[in-house]
Amino acid sequence: MRLFVTVLLIVVMASLVYKSKTPENHQINKIKSDHKTSSYSSHDRATQAPFPKGEPDPTVAISLGKLKSPNAILIRLKDHAILMQKNSEEKIYPASLTKIMTAIVAIENLPDLNEEITLTNSVFRGLYEADASMAGFEPGERVKAIDLLYGAILPSGAEASIGLADRIAGSEENFVKMMNQKTAELGMKHTHFANATGLQNENHFTTVKDLAILLTYALQNDTFREIFTSSHHLTAPTNKHTRGITLYSTLFKELNNPNLMDGEILGGKTGYTDEAGLCLASLAKVGKQEYVLITAGANGNHHTEQYNITDALAVYNSIQE
C-alpha cells in the first residue's frame, strides 16, 4: 500500500510540473512576431491565429486556392492577429503600394502640411516616359503639401511623390534612404526600397507580411487614415489650376459598391506593374472589427477584371464573427 501511494504521489507531482511548463493559451500570432512562418501553397486553407480568452474567434471561410492573388495576408487591426495568409513571406514587387511608405514618411517629416511646395521640371523627369501614374499637377505648380499627399495616395501620382521627396530630403535618392530607415525601425526585414513611386526596379521589393506591418502602423496616424479612407479630394486653388483639382481614389473608381455583407470597405491603395501584377492594400470594417488585407501578384492589368478588388470582396465577405 505504501509503495502504491508513493508511486501515485510521484505521478501526480510529475503531472503538475508538466502543466506548469505548458502555457494555458497560445499567444496571439502577431504580424512581426514570426518571420519563420512557412509560405502556404494555393491549395492550403486559410490559416487562423488563436485568440485570447473572451475574444470572438472569427472564421475566414474561404479557400486560398480560390484567390486570384498568389500572395495575401489578412490582419485584425485591433491586435494585429493574422487570420489568413498565403505565401506571405514570398518576395514581391510592391508597385504603387510603395506610396504608403512615401506618404507616412512625408507626413512624419513635414512641419507644416499647408506649406506650398513648387513642383520643378526635374520632378517630372522620366515619369511620362516610364508611363507612371500621375495626379495631374504641372511643372512649376505650387501645391500644398497636404494636396500632394492626397495626390500620391488617391490617384497614385508619381509627381506628387517625387515633389514630397525633393522637399523633405532634397532628392528622391536621399528620401529613399529615409524610407529604408523606416523599414528597419518597423521590423520590415524583407523589404528594400529603391524609389518613392513604385516604378519597377529589381532592388525594390517586399512581402505582403511586411506591407501589413507598414499599413497597420500608418493607419495609427490620423492624417494618413483620413487620406487613405477618402474616395476623392478637391485640392486648394494653385497658380496652374485656379479651381483646384479633384483627385479620385483608384480603388473607389473601380469599386462600384464598397458595402460588404456585414460591413464596408473603408479605403485602400491599388498598385500595378507588369512585374508586380495587380496589388491592393485595403482597410475594411466587418461587424464591429476593422481588418487589413494585402494582396499582390494577381494576373491582369488596368483593362482587365480587377482581381485584386474581387479578391478583397471575397475575403472580407468570408469573415464570420
Q: 68 vs 65, 187, 264, 269, 312, CA distance in Å?
A: 8, 28, 21, 18, 10
pLDDT at 13 (0 to 100): 52
| CA–CA separation, 77 and 224 (whole Å) | 15
Is the pLDDT confidence value at 131 over 80? Answer: yes
pLDDT at 61 (0 to 100): 84
Lowest mean pLDDT segment, chosen from 39-43, 46-50, 86-90, 255-259: 39-43
- Amino acid symbol at 69: S
| CA–CA separation, 296 and 307 (whole Å) | 10
pLDDT at 243 (0 to 100): 98
pLDDT at 319 (0 to 100): 95
**Catalytic member of 156, 161, 282, 318:** 156
Domain range summary for the chain, segments of one domain joined by +: 95-320
The DSSP secondary-structure symbol of 321 reads -
Examine the residue annotation and report whether 91 is marked as an active-site residue of this protein: no
284-51-217-35 Cα dihedral, nearest 10 degrees: -120
Residue 158 near residue 199 (C-beta atoms within 8 A):
yes
User: Where does the pLDDT of residue 1 fall: very low under 50, low under 70, confident under 90, or very high at 90 and above?
Assistant: low
**What is the mean pLDDT of the segment spanning 115-132?**
97
Examine the residue annotation and report whether 96 is marked as an active-site residue of this protein: yes
Is the pLDDT confidence value at 28 over 70? Answer: no
Residue with cell 532634397: 170
Span 95-320 CATH architecture? 3-Layer(aba) Sandwich (3.40)
pLDDT at 256 (0 to 100): 87
Residue 86 near residue 125 (C-beta atoms within 8 A):
no
List, for residues 33-81, the tens digit of each pLDDT value. 444 333 333 333 343 333 333 445 578 888 899 999 999 999 999 999 9
**Catalytic member of 88, 96, 249, 318:** 96
pLDDT at 154 (0 to 100): 98
pLDDT at 58 (0 to 100): 73
Q: 114 vs 107, 109, 142, 235, 242, CA distance in Å?
A: 11, 13, 11, 11, 17
**What is the mean pLDDT of the segment spanning 230-259?**
97
User: Where does the pLDDT of residue 229 fall: very low under 50, low under 70, confident under 90, or very high at 90 and above?
Assistant: very high
User: Average pLDDT, whole number, for the chain?
Assistant: 87
**Catalytic member of 68, 86, 99, 269:** 99
The reported pTM is 0.84
In the chain, beta strands by DSSP E = 59-60, 71-76, 81-86, 116-118, 142-144, 232-234, 246-248, 259-260, 263-273, 277-286, 289-298, 319-320
**What is the mean pLDDT of the segment spanning 255-271?**
96
Is the pLDDT confidence value at 9 over 90? Answer: no
Is the pLDDT confidence value at 312 over 60? Answer: yes
Lowest mean pLDDT segment, chosen from 10-19, 138-147, 151-160, 301-310: 10-19
Neighbours of 249 (CB within 10 A): 24
Examine the residue annotation and report whether 99 is marked as an active-site residue of this protein: yes
% of the chain at pLDDT higher than 70: 82
pLDDT at 321 (0 to 100): 77
pLDDT at 10 (0 to 100): 53
pLDDT at 31 (0 to 100): 57
